[in-house]
Structure 1
Amino acid sequence: MANVDETNQTKFPNQYQTWLATSEQADKEDMLAAYPANIILWAGSSFAKEYNSPRGHQFAVADVTHILRTGVSVEEGKKGLSASCWTCKTPDAPRLMNEMGIEGFSGANFTDLGTEIKSVVYCSDCHEDGSAKLALPRPHAQDAMAKIKLPFDKQNTSMQGAQVCGQCHVTYYFQPERSDKVNIPWIFGSTADDIEKYYDTRRFYEWIHPISKTPMLKARHPEFEHWSRSKHAEAGVTCITCHMPPATDDKGNEFTDHKVGNALEHFDNTCKACHSSQQAISKTLAKKKQQINTKARQVEDLLVKAHFEAKAAWDAGATWPLMNDAIMGIRHGQWRWDFAMASHGLYAHNPEEGNALLDKAIEQVTLSRTLLAMILKQLDVEKVDYPDISTKEKAHAVIGFDKDAAEAAKVMFIKDEVDKHWHPVARQGYEN
């Protein structure tokens, strides 16, 4: 990496320096503290342990290393979290796939490959080494673009730029029959409906919800999918246009800003061609964000109630034939809520689709609760226990997650393994 690093610094100094500046994007928000209902919705999955807002690319390796979701080392010979969790955090992932084979890589444990990870998201994740030419190095992305008949080498530079971002800013799942390799579920298409059809056809679920017994699905940052159906996409405006605008150095040289950031911070270079007023677009975006957030909180409240109502029905002796339709309503409603809310910046990228997803989720979970009410009446259940989940701590207690124990185990893992044996990139922003 050293020689390549020096070459990139020399050939592309402005791009390199702005890439380094993503270390300034250090703020993160504890999303479970902000929205404790999510702990109930994700109960039984690692997302209920810890979930934070995204930070700059410089923190990609350290954040995935330190977060409670990735756990600690497992005993030799035991199966732990898949190394697939490294896939979009580092150029070492495609390298290891080439060396080990895709399924050899994904079949390895996440922590076992920690010593191999020596770089955060880097030039070679998006470009051919030592060149400005765009590249798509991740096999799951190559496969996905083939599925929708948009192969990388057939696209113009603008669309290639969007695909380069989309190789990671896209939803996916770990394919169990292929050693948990990353797979993008676009066989029928890339909408929430199409992906749901794919999952339902395969009878796929990521985990069984411990409260409602619902076979759950999880969406993961589907920014590419939402953008691809947006007004921005129709106008040829891509991720690069808004988040990596043209800049000029002190010698008058123009370059692409690699401090991937908020479009409005560079209004004149990003938005002004289409939007006349920064104040007006900021006001519009704030209104759309508030509208989506209000609906999201409504869906979360309905889903939490539905999960506990299902539990009450099971506890009273309900059977699967009786519960199936109600449970599928929870599965499908939560999927659409997640497909909306897991997408960072949805209110700007595609608010129309976001609102449609949440409206459908409200409809689905409301029907589910209507069915559950009928079942509960049939089973003579007069009262459902809705526990207090007003804080992160209370919600964690409800699902039986011992955060203190998990944090203590993580601290020991960091001290004994990461600090001693892993590359310093795994400690970026966590240095004592």
Structure 2
Amino acid sequence: MMRESRTSFLKWCGVALLLPLTAVAQPETDANQVKFPKQFETWAATQTQSESEDMLAHYPASIILWAGSSFAKEYRSPRGHQFAVADVSRTLRTGTAVPAGEKGLSASCWTCKTPDAPRLMKEMGVEGFSDANFVDLGQEIKSVVYCSDCHIDGSAKLALPRPHAQDAMAKVHLPFEKQSSAMQGAQTCGQCHVTYYFQPERKNKVNIPWIFGNTADDIEKYYDTRRFYEWIHPISKTPILKARHPEFEHWSRSKHAEVNVTCVTCHMPAATDAKGNEYTDHQVGNSLQHFDTACAGCHESQAELTSTLDKHKKDIDAKARKVEDLLVKAHYEAKAAWDAGATWPMMNDAIMGIRHAQWRWDFAMASHGLYAHNPQEGHALLDKAIEQVTDARNVLKFVAGHIGASEPQYPDISTKEAAHKAIGFVESDAQKAKDAFIKQEIEKHWDPIASTGY
């Protein structure tokens, strides 16, 4: 889709423009805008979903749990699809320019942000793409999440263009072409709303770890079998696993999935235009905003449903904060044992307990909408995490007594600033370097979507 036609359309439908109109060339007609005007209009309206919260400020204990990784630098709540490229470009997690000859962040970080990623994979090969540096491909990225991410371009026919998603559905014997249209819709969302990792032996290409299945236990078994870890925790020496928004996994075992209610049903409900024509609302958002069309078929009262969801959120959040507190203590108790001369044979059980407990906490809390998608699984994950980290701390207490370790020194993590200080991260310095990169590279040489969305 040409930028000029997008700009023209957004101006027409009242969406605020952040590009100077003097820079816009003569508009060209976009085929999708003409064939699917209401879908296009609602998709464009995701630019209004611009609010984002600083999740590290809300939950500073996460900084300790993610110490040693980029997630401890910045972690914000997601915004509308229009901001996919801008947000990944500007976060501290993707850093700054890579010195010549050095290896930077993998271009795989672009995979779910833009239809340019599948295009580049075709041109460069999947591993050629993933082996490139993230920042080196910045000038190639000219579109955010768009029609061709879920459809054969110019058609309503659903598609699954990302190789890692095609591979994953084959692993669980749900090939895309053999599914119902409802399940295909869920799978198009599940291309990106799913957990994954970068496969080191395949040049960091995106891989979904579903060899044994897609539960937390199954994925953990896969990672443990491979002796895989994403980083070694600098405080406890734990080989850490990281979950990434496993919405598809949680949904697939939910009551909604049992009755064929999918992501599309709730977040992209059917709507009717002024002429009575039905279309799918592409302003993906909170389903309660569309209670009458998305929820009323199964739920009688919006107030009652809201109350139930609020209770799920309150209960799960309280349990998650307990797990975080226990894990922070465990990381520092492990440090005290190491500092006193503990050996791996002494520490193995405790370290694996921390690894597995933090994995389950992350698999629960990294999922956007767990409270609605599958609260039962959320509670089960956090209950198991409490059990595992408690066992780990008991082992650490025994080891500490055996070797005469000093009492652990727990840091102040009452605020994001205090937690950053505890791990030695200076946010202001990182932000200064990022701001310079944005000004010198992104704003001068990258497409404007890396700054504003369309």
- Please state which band the TM-score falls in when normalised by the shorter chain: over 0.9
Determine if the alignment matches structure 1 residue 108 to structure 2 residue 156: no
Moved more, 190-199 or 245-254: 245-254
Mapping 1:86-97, distance limit 5 Å: 86-97=110-121
Map Cα deviations across residues 285-304 of structure 1 (whole Å, 9 max, x no partner): 10011111010000000000
CA distance in 2, matches of 1:9, 1:273: 31
Matching residue of 1:343: 367
- 1:308-328 CA distances to partner (integer Å, 9 max, x unpaired)? 000000000000000000000
Distance in 2, Cα, partners of 1:257 & 1:29: 25
Q: Of residues 152, 158, 169 in structure 2, which corresponds to 1:134?
A: 158
Structure 2 partner of 1:159: 183
Identity of aligned pairs, percent?
74
1:16-27 alignment runs, 5 A limit:
16-27=40-51
- For 1:76 and 1:388, locate their aligned partners in 2 and report how far apart those are by CA, in whole Å: 39
Amino acid at match of 1:85: C
8 Å Cα contact 2:245-2:367 kept in structure 1: yes
Helix, strand or coil at the partner of 1:53: coil
**Aligned residues of 2:340 and 2:406 also touching (Cα < 8 A):** no
In the alignment, the residues of structure 1 paired with residue 205 and residue 59 of structure 2 have an alpha-carbon distance, to the nearest angstrom, of 30
* TM-score, normalising length: structure 1: 0.98
Residue 377 (structure 2) aligns with: 353
- One-letter amino acid of the counterpart of residue 380, structure 1: G
* 1:262-411 alignment, distance < 5 Å: 262-411=286-435
Tell me what 2:205 maps to. Answer: 181
Q: Which runs of 5+ in 2 are unaligned?
A: 6-27
1:240 aligns with one of 264, 277, 294: 264
* Whole-angstrom distance in 1 between the partners of 2:371 and 2:435: 37
Q: How does 1:21-100 map to 2 (within 5 A)?
A: 21-100=45-124
Q: CA deviation at 1:77?
A: 2.4
The CA RMSD measured in Å over matched residues stands at 1.1
71-80 or 162-171: bigger deviation: 71-80
Q: 1:414 aligns with which of 438, 441, 446?
A: 438
1:225 to 223, 236, 249: 249
Counterparts of 1:140 and 1:383, CA distance in 2: 46
Contact 2:413/2:419, CA 8 A, preserved across alignment: yes
**Alpha-carbon separation, structure 1, partners of 2:412 and 2:368:** 28
Query: In structure 1, what residue type is equivalent to 2:68?
Result: G
Confirm whether residue 9 of structure 1 aligns to residue 33 of structure 2.
yes
Aligned residues: 430
Equivalents in 2 of 1:335, 1:27: separation in Å?
28
Matched residue, 2:19:
none
Aligned equivalents of 1:120, 1:293: Cα separation in 2: 32
Counterpart residue number, 1:123? 147
Greater displacement, 244-253 / 156-165: 244-253
Alignment partner of 1:249 is 2:273 = yes
1:71 and 1:300 map into 2 onto residues whose CA distance is: 27
Question: Quick one: distance in 2 between partners of 1:390 and 1:281?
Answer: 33
Q: Distance in 1 between matches of 2:174 and 2:234?
A: 40
**Secondary structure in structure 2 of the residue aligned to 1:93:** helix
Alignment partners' CA distance in 1, 2:366 and 2:410: 25
Mapped to 1, the partners of 2:332 and 2:259 lie a distance apart of 45
Partner in structure 2 of residue 146 of structure 1: 170
Shift of the alpha carbon at 1:380?
A: 1.4
Deviations 1:352-372 (A, max 9, x none): 100000000000000000100
In structure 2, what residue type is equivalent to 1:386? Answer: Y
Matched AA of 2:346: L
Deviation at 1:76?
Answer: 2.5
Amino acid at match of 1:29: E
Q: Which runs of 5+ in 1 are unaligned?
A: none
**Is 1:211 paired with 2:230?**
no
Counterparts of 1:280 and 1:188, CA distance in 2:
38
Distance 1:77 1:376 in 2: 45
Moved over 6 A (4+): none
CA deviations over 1:224-273 (Å, ceiling 9, x no partner)? 00000000000000000000001111222211000001111110101101
Taking the aligned partners of 2:32 and 2:416, their CA distance within structure 1 comes to 44
C-alpha distance in structure 1 between counterparts of 2:29 and 2:290, whole Å: 28
Paired with 2:406 and 2:92, the residues of 1 have a C-alpha distance of 39
Residues 97-119 of structure 1 show CA distances to partners (whole Å, capped at 9, x for unaligned) of 00000000000000000000000
Instruction: Give the alignment's TM-score, normalised by structure 2.
Output: 0.94
